[in-house]
Amino acid sequence: MSKVAVMGSGSWGTGFALTLCDAGNEVTMWARRAELCDAINTQHRNVDYFPTIELPPSLRAVTDPQEAMSGADFVVLAVPSQSLRENLRVWRIPENAVVVSLAKGIELGTGLRMSQVIAEVAGIPPSRIAVVTGPNLAREIAERKPSASVVASTSIETAEALQAICHTRSFRPYTNTDVIGCELGGATKNVIALAVGMAIGIGLGDNATASVITRGLAEITRLGQALGADPYTFSGLAGLGDLVATCSSPLSRNRTFGEQLGKGRTVSEITASTRQVAEGVKSCASIQALAAAHGVEMPIVDAVAAVIAEKMTPTEMITALLSRSAKPERY
Ligand SMILES: NC(=O)C1=CN([C@@H]2O[C@H](COP(=O)(O)OP(=O)(O)OC[C@H]3O[C@@H](n4cnc5c(N)ncnc54)[C@H](O)[C@@H]3O)[C@@H](O)[C@H]2O)C=CC1
Ligand SMILES: O=C(CO)COP(=O)(O)O
């Protein structure tokens, strides 16, 4: 049994904390709001995100981040990508703890992956940093529906240690040492899911969505190869697996966001109507900048970034993608 702190009690923080409890660990969650913290401790429910799901009674919540992390062997970071840096600046991570990122985004302004932000801000060596990724829609995990997943670290020992503490009857984690590929797969599929959502919102058919998913995977793979990832990672759970889950599921916040755009709502209207994070809305710009810096062509990412910046409508986006010059199919 390990002592684990889960920093953040949104959807995925809650789903992963529940999994860690099921696997027999002592888990403490950090919640920003006292009301939510009380509800988790007294009603054993996350009333804001999963009001109908009963949480393990052993799952404890606290509002003090240092109390949550006290004595932790693993510190799991479950906050949005764009706020991770500001959080890490004030949190003091216990010495020797393994730091685990759940976030799927690329930092705006720096183009850094979350493991790089953790290393830079908290001064943690890469061998003590891990990420969790793959087809892991939080609600399904919280309902204990079966899923495979990926736990990645440049240190196989660290990846195996994380695998050992989160393997349950419904959650099957595979190790991977290609952290670059795993993080890029997780962040970039959100942008592709926005494009798929737009196609659905406009009312295009299954051929269109399959085409966007497949050409999206080609873009993700190209970017990954340019940044030093193993291309095989993208045919695995952290690539194809997560892309398919996110683009197919109405539970995906990114796909839903795109769908709303396709139906004619504006970015600010949709953002104002949900408390949940759709990471692709911000990461489309950072991924586009990263691709440009490495000379990688990513037409779907470019088109999504143009729609999010309100320089193009979703219908114009589809027209722009279809009218690109004809070429052979290649990665
Ligand atoms: N929900 C899902 O199915 C999955 C989500 N993820 C990733 O996990 C990360 C977290 O997502 P969710 O938990 O789903 O989001 P969420 O929107 O459900 O929850 C976000 C949590 O972060 C907190 N938060 C927001 N801004 C903050 C700030 N400035 N400082 C500190 N805390 C802040 C919120 O209070 C909330 O507890 C994202 O990067 C997402 O892409 C990954 C796999 C599955
Ligand atoms: O990453 C996810 C599933 O693996 C969740 O996707 P959304 O953030 O779009 O809900």
Q: Is 33 annotated as belonging to a binding site?
A: yes
Nearest-angstrom CA–CA distance, 83 and 98: 20
Q: Which tokens in the block code for residue 24? A: 């027999």
Per-residue pLDDT tens for 175-212? 999 999 999 999 999 999 999 999 999 999 999 999 99
Strand order in the sheet with 60-62: 60-62, 26-30, 3-7, 74-77, 98-101, 129-133, 147-152, 171-176
189 is in an annotated binding site: yes
Whose Cα sits closest to atom 23 in ligand 1?
79
Strand 129-133 to strand 147-152: parallel, antiparallel, or no bridges (unpaired)? antiparallel
Residue % of the chain over a pLDDT of 70: 100
* Helix ranges, 238-326 (H): 242-248, 253-262, 267-272, 280-293, 299-308, 314-322
Task: Say how far apart CA 274 and CA 257 lie, in whole Å.
Answer: 10
The pLDDT assigned to 147 comes to 98
Nearest to 16 by CA among 47, 48, 55: 55
Q: Look up residue 49 and give its amino acid.
A: Y
C-alpha dist (Å) from residue 270 to 145, 209, 234, 253, 301: 29, 22, 30, 11, 20
pLDDT at 171 over 90: yes
**Dist. CA 310 → ligand 1 center (Å):** 25
Confidence at 306, pLDDT banded by 50, 70, 90: very high
User: What is the residue-averaged pLDDT of the chain?
Assistant: 97
Please give the average per-residue pLDDT across 266-275, as a whole number.
95
Ligand 1 geometric centre to CA of 320 (Å): 32
Does the pTM surpass 0.90? The reply is yes
Residue nearest to atom 24 of ligand 1 (CA): 79
For ligand 2, residues with CB inside 6 Å are 104, 135-137, 190, 193, 242, 245-246, 252-254, 279
Return the SS3 of 3: strand
252 is known to lie in a ligand binding site: yes
Q: Please state the rounded mean pLDDT for residues 138-144.
A: 98
Q: At residue 331, does pLDDT exceed 90?
A: no
Looking at domain 3-177, its CATH superfamily turns out to be NAD(P)-binding Rossmann-like Domain (3.40.50.720)
Q: Which of 129-133, 283-287, 317-321 has the lowest mean pLDDT?
A: 317-321
Any idea where the domains of the chain sit in the sequence? Answer: 3-177, 188-322
Instruction: Give the residue among 290, 106, 283, 301 at the shortest CA–CA distance from 195.
Output: 301
Secondary structure (3-state) at 69: helix
In sequence order, the 6+-apart residues with CB closer than 8 A to the CB of 285 are: 108, 305, 308, 309
Say what the pLDDT of residue 330 is: 82
Tell me whether residue 49 is annotated as binding.
Answer: yes
Estimate the crossing angle of helix 299-308 against helix 280-293, to 10 degrees.
Answer: 130
Q: What's the whole-number mean pLDDT along residues 109-130? A: 98
- pLDDT, tens digit, 9 for 90 and up, residues 247-269: 999 999 999 999 999 999 999 99
At 243, the pLDDT band (50, 70, 90 cuts) reads very high
Q: Please state, in angstroms and rounded to a whole number, the distance separating the CA atoms of residues 30 and 37.
A: 8
Out of 50, 64, 79, 81, mutate this one to test ligand 1's pocket (max ligand atoms within 8 Å of CB): namely 79
Predicted pLDDT at 275: 86
Residue 311 falls in the annotated catalytic set:
no
64-68, 83-87, 320-324: range with lowest mean pLDDT: 320-324
DSSP 275: S
Distance CA 9, CA 50 (A): 11
Give long-range contacts, CB 8 A cutoff, 24+ apart: 249-252: 249/137, 251/137, 251/139, 251/140, 252/137, 252/193, 252/197
Average pLDDT of span 297-305: 97
Identical topology for domains 3-177 and 188-322 = no
Q: Is the CB of 32 under 6 A from ligand 1?
A: yes
CA of 258 to the centre of ligand 2 (A): 13
CATH topology of domain 188-322: N-(1-d-carboxylethyl)-l-norvaline Dehydrogenase; domain 2 (1.10.1040)
| Ligand lying nearest the CA atom of residue 136 | 2
